Amino acid sequence: MKVSKIKIKVFGYVQGVFFRYTTRKVARKLGLTGYVKNMSDGTVYIEAEGPQDKLFELLKFSKQGPKHAQVEKIEHEFTPPTNEFKGFDYEF
């Protein structure tokens, strides 16, 4: 099982629609560590570490988001894990 890190930037109507809350819930269920953050440019930024198959599940979720989100596009990249996170939470 390959452990990796993913960085995801989600564009669209993604703030104020429980995107961070739902992302945290999904990530914790998948056993991932990292954080999710609202950015000043209106995007949502996600950084997560864990098994690559679980990261792909998080990526799949982020392409759709929660019920009221309107995801226009996402950007993502995989990088080597840094093992810096203890759990998965919000960052402000």
Quick check: is 20 catalytic?
A: yes
The catalytic residue among 24, 28, 38, 83 is 38
CA 62 – CA 74 distance, rounded (Å): 8
CA 4 – CA 23 distance, rounded (Å): 18
The catalytic residue among 20, 24, 28, 83 is 20
Quick check: is 38 catalytic?
A: yes
* DSSP 3-state of 32: coil
CA 64 – CA 85 distance, rounded (Å): 25
Backbone angles phi, psi at 66, to 5 degrees: -70, 175
Which residues are known to be catalytic?
A: 20, 38
